[in-house]
Amino acid sequence: MKRKVLVIEGDGIGKEVIPEAVKLLTLLGDFEILKGDAGLECYRRCKEFLPRETLEKAEESDIILFGAVTSPKGVKDYKSPILTLRKTFNLYANVRPINNFGLLRLEGYLGKNKFLDVKNVDLVIIRENTEDLYVGFERELYDIAIADRVVSKKASERIVRFAFEYAKENKRKRVSCIHKANVLKVTDGLFLKTFYEVAKNYKIEADDYLVDSASYLLIKEPERFDIIVTTNMFGDILSDEASLLLGSLGLAPSANIGEKKALFEPVHGSAPDIAGKEIANPMAAILCVAMIFDYIGKKEKGNLIREAVKHCIEEGKVTKDLGGSLKTHEVAEEIIKYVTNYE
């Protein structure tokens, strides 16, 4: 039976990059594609950010490919569709590959004519998606605001094992645990202890860093890191920090993986500043498709897509964010051309 993929384009550049990614998905694989609505435009049409119909389609799908949605301003009780999907389907592992495909000089966030010299960065951040301070147990006691941090043995074991299995499958050498166990002795103490217990079962190097030191080293010596595993909030912050090493959010894909299904989404948002201009970089969305092929065990197809992206970057066949002049669909066409020649 064909695997079902629910495609949710969302808003802004989600509508531009996801259709290009779907071209790769259908070119290299045999999937049943469903379409779902979500986001701000959807809310304007039907007063829901994530309609029940989309949730039902997600339920019957094996895989979800999600673009990006614009967060509304001033809507009380807004629940992000992506958070709802992660929670509903218990997508406990967030995976963010940070691979700059050997690019050396990037004109990115630093501004025009300011370059960031980046070595060949190729690391993966694996973040626990269900616990930590993000469980939302917050309250006020007079003028004190309190948040509870939850770290369980079960969820820690699950994410650490996921990280080592990922390392094994992808022939990675080292897994580093990032924590703050010197201060958060109980919660991160448990996470760190669990990390080394699980590590004993694998012939893969294991080490650990304090989160403050890791955030410094991530920029200074990114080559130190191979696979990073960490708790929810540290992972959230570190993975956005690490995106800087890519020079553009247009190169950052991600996956949210659960026991039964997985959701893939480019890290970037709906980018209203460039939406409709045909200059959005489709590579992050296309790299999500590579991750989908990895997920279903067709790693050779995932690798082919990554090779095609690398080729386009080397040849300067890129959008404006990476210093090129191609339009969104032209980059996708170049990737498709490469893939078609080598398939």
Asked whether position 38 contacts ligand NAD by CB under 6 A, the answer is: no
Within residues 198-227, the interface with ligand NAD by CB under 6 A covers: none
Decide: residue 234, CB within 10 A, 0-12 exposed, 13-18 middle, 19+ buried: buried
- Chosen residue from 68, 91, 103, 304 binding ligand NAD by CB under 6 A: 68
Choice among 180, 261, 301, 317 that is catalytic: 180
Q: Could you give the C-alpha distances from 127 to 32, 72, 113, 247, in angstroms and in order?
A: 29, 26, 34, 22
Asked whether position 236 contacts ligand NAD by CB under 6 A, the answer is: no
Asked whether position 82 contacts ligand NAD by CB under 6 A, the answer is: yes
Task: Answer whether 298's CB lies under 8 Å from 29's CB.
Answer: yes
Q: Minimal distance in Å, beta carbon 113 to ligand NAD?
A: 17
- Chosen residue from 6, 7, 58, 69 binding ligand NAD by CB under 6 A: 69
Structure token pair of residue 72:
């509304």
Asked whether position 25 contacts ligand NAD by CB under 6 A, the answer is: no
Q: Minimal distance in Å, beta carbon 320 to ligand NAD?
A: 7
For residue 202, indicate whether it is catalytic. no
Question: What is the rounded distance in angstroms from the CA atom of residue 165 to the CA atom of residue 87?
Answer: 23
Q: Could you give the C-alpha distances from 105 to 239, 270, 295, in angstroms and in order?
A: 20, 26, 31
Q: Minimal distance in Å, beta carbon 70 to ligand NAD?
A: 4
With CB atoms as reference, the residue minimizing the distance to ligand NAD is 269
Nearer to ligand NAD, 39 or 302 (CB): 39
Question: What is the rounded distance in angstroms from the CA atom of residue 252 to the CA atom of residue 287?
Answer: 8
Nearer to ligand NAD, 95 or 181 (CB): 95
Asked whether position 255 contacts ligand NAD by CB under 6 A, the answer is: no
Question: What is the rounded distance in angstroms from the CA atom of residue 87 to the CA atom of residue 81?
Answer: 10
Put the strands of the sheet holding 174-179 in their side by side order: 31-36, 3-10, 63-68, 262-266, 253-257, 93-99, 122-128, 227-230, 174-179, 205-210
Structure token pair of residue 25:
């998905």
Interface with ligand NAD (CB under 6 A), residue total 22
Choice among 4, 134, 298, 337 that is catalytic: 134
Asked whether position 265 contacts ligand NAD by CB under 6 A, the answer is: yes
Asked whether position 325 contacts ligand NAD by CB under 6 A, the answer is: no
Asked whether position 85 contacts ligand NAD by CB under 6 A, the answer is: no
Asked whether position 140 contacts ligand NAD by CB under 6 A, the answer is: no
Q: Minimal distance in Å, beta carbon 191 to ligand NAD?
A: 26
For residue 209, indicate whether it is catalytic. no
Asked whether position 20 contacts ligand NAD by CB under 6 A, the answer is: no
Nearer to ligand NAD, 151 or 283 (CB): 283
Task: Answer whether 286's CB lies under 8 Å from 20's CB.
Answer: yes
Identify any residues that bridge with 279 across adjacent strands, giving them in sequence order. Answer: none
Q: Is 171 left (phi over 0), alpha (psi -120 to 50) or beta?
A: left
For residue 180, indicate whether it is catalytic. yes
Question: What is the rounded distance in angstroms from the CA atom of residue 135 to the CA atom of residue 156?
Answer: 15
- Write the CB contacts of 113 (distance below 8 Å, at least 6 apart in sequence): 107
For residue 236, indicate whether it is catalytic. yes
Asked whether position 155 contacts ligand NAD by CB under 6 A, the answer is: no
Asked whether position 321 contacts ligand NAD by CB under 6 A, the answer is: yes
Which residues in this chain contact ligand NAD in the complex, by CB under 6 A? 13, 17, 68-71, 82, 248-250, 265, 268-274, 280-281, 284, 321
- Catalytic machinery residues: 134, 180, 212, 236, 240
